[in-house]
Chain A
Amino acid sequence: MAVGGGFWHTGATVSKTKTESGGNPLIRVENLTKTFDQFTAVKDITFQVDSGEIFAFLGPNGAGKTTTIKMLTTLLRPTSGRIDLDGFDPWVKQREARQRFGIVFQDPSLDGEQTAYENMELHGILYHIPHKVRHERIEELLKLFELWERRKDLVKTFSGGMKRRLEIARGFLHTPKILFLDEPTLGLDPQSRNQLWNHVKALNASEKTTVFLTTHYMDEADRVAHRIAIMDHGAIVAIGTSAELKAKTNTDSLEAAFLALTGESLRDEAANSADQMRRFAQMWQRR
């Protein structure tokens, strides 16, 4: 994708060059593997994410990005390997780990039958945020993400972009040390994507929140991430800054570098029954 470098590289810290992690790793992953029956989704991956950095996972469908995130966020037990998240093994010390991260899942995870404010409130209570701080912070985040005017509306009446913004605002609510964003801009228009990344970058700068994201959009990774790991068939095939990846593959865009590293064959997306369920639920007017 031919994107003007000047426009995308507006962030002051983005051009920082760093291949190996500096002094202060927040996440350390060593030889992590996940096997489902016969299929190995993640194969022996090792990497670090530094405190305060924006780290991107790029990869085709089925590369193992989401599986890796699930293992980092206590939702899946690794088959083998080691994860250290701010000093805790996510599977063993689930509660400690959970208090430290926020996550925006690939699929929505809001409660459509509650208002925006109630969704935030529920999250704040689950994450033990004291009453006073909770209300201040909800107001601050809803205003930042331009949802304050709609706080009393049920989330099911929101557009896709608004729901995403609310999820990301919610992810920041308990001031996590690290925020996981699993394809947060899927299905959003360019305006929403642009605005969303501006917010994420602003909060990364102001609250020093480390951000771990996955995306299909090369330009996004190029624009916001300090370092990028490219994953394919369950393994990390390259890791470094955008400039380093381009240099390594002798290409002039991240997209070309990506294709050079992962090949051009198509990947099949795993089928799911969510759409069928939605129709069924509508039929019964459950939501």
Chain B
Amino acid sequence: MGAIYIMWLREVKRYFRSRAQIIVSLGQPTLYLLALGFGFGPVFAKAGGGNYIQFMAPGVIGMTVLFSSIFSGMAMLWDRQFGFLKETLVAPVPRFNIILGRTLGGATVAMLQGLLMLAVCLIAGFRPVYGHAPGAPATYHWLALPVSLIFVAMIAIVFAAMGASIGSSIKDMQGFQMLMNFLVLPIFFLSGALYPLKNLGPVMTWLTRFDPLTYGIDGLRGLLIGNWQFPLTLQASFLLDFGLLVVLAMVFLSTSAWLFSRIEV
């Protein structure tokens, strides 16, 4: 337990110490929210999609959590290059505890970033409404905010564990940049963060369904604005998204633990 705690604490401490980075890493999602949100807003509304800011807010929250969590895992690359990794590799504790602590720490940080992004969205005019038809008087569902944290947490854990698996296997910067271009960005763009996944072509539909983030964004958007992508009841949609994310979290946690246990220096 001590090892899990101290590795978790390390990630959280680093987060609070780099205040500049907290702000900087909110910049990109905020830019998406404002530029795309207000830019595409009129087109989206004309096509009958309603308020685009409302639609995008869950997407950019998911985006913030995705980038923050997956990079926290990949930051192991820096620990490898700067040597700290070795200190943890020779410690007399199961390596699973080390990687679990790191992953939970990265996930915690990503959740905090997600919360800050939620605050930015609220400032930009986003309101949690459920089943709010365009034109009808809005009823706000503030309770949806805390409930939606379940999905913020699940996105954070799934991608922190995925990042840790990657961080345990890549050894240099070239690999990092390739993954950035061919993995992280596609995960983001295919997740439905920016556009509805209904009525896409068959290839796109399949691609989006293979994307773990799709289910996280769907859960967030479902809980926050009542817009679920699968034609199921509320409970079934929730269980589908949540269940899949739990399974994925376990798969990635096991993968990262296995890969991390095999590191030789």
Contact = CB atoms under 8 A, between A and B. Distances in A.
B173 A277 contact: yes
B5 A125 contact: yes
Contacts of A109: 83-87
Given A122-B6, A126-B6, A105 B92 contact: no
B174 to A, nearest CB: 10
A73 interface: yes
A76 B83 contact: no
Contacts of B201: none
A99 B84 CA distance: 18
Contact of B2 (A105, A107, A118, A128): A128
Given A75-B265, A113-B17, A126-B6, A273 B87 contact: no
Nearest to A105: B86
A262 interface: no
Contacts of A96: 92
A48 to B, nearest CB: 22
A8 interface: no
A98 interface: yes
B10 interface: yes
Contacts of A94: 92
Interface stretch (A199-207, A212-220, A278-286): A278-286
Given A73-B90, A74-B90, A103-B90, A126 B83 contact: no
B88 interface: yes
A126 B88 CA distance: 8
A109 B13 CA distance: 18
Interface stretch (B74-82, B145-153, B244-252): B74-82
Nearest to B263: A75
A75 B89 contact: yes
Taking each of B88, B90, B265, which has the highest tally of chain A beta carbons within 10 Å of its own beta carbon? B90
User: How many of chain B's residues touch chain A, expressed as a range?
Assistant: 20 to 34
Interface residues of A, number: 40
A125 B2 contact: yes
A121 B264 CA distance: 25
Given A113-B17, A286-B75, A107 B83 contact: yes
Interface string B153-194: 000000000000000000011000000000000000000000
Given A76-B264, A77-B264, A113-B14, A126 B82 contact: no
B6 A125 contact: yes
A110 interface: yes
A152 interface: no
B110 interface: no
Given A114-B10, A280-B173, A127 B92 contact: yes
Given A75-B265, A113-B17, A280-B173, A127 B91 contact: yes
Interface of B: 2-3, 5-6, 10, 13-14, 17, 21, 75, 78, 81-94, 172-173, 264-265
Interface of A: 70, 73-77, 94-96, 98-99, 101, 103, 105, 107-114, 118, 121-123, 125-128, 273-274, 276-278, 280-281, 285-287
20 contacts: A73-B90, A105-B83, A105-B86, A107-B83, A107-B86, A108-B83, A111-B84, A113-B14, A114-B13, A114-B14, A122-B6, A123-B87, A126-B88, A126-B93, A127-B91, A127-B92, A273-B173, A277-B78, A277-B173, A285-B21
Given A75-B86, A113-B13, A281-B78, 7 more contacts: A77-B264, A95-B92, A108-B83, A110-B83, A112-B82, A114-B13, A126-B93
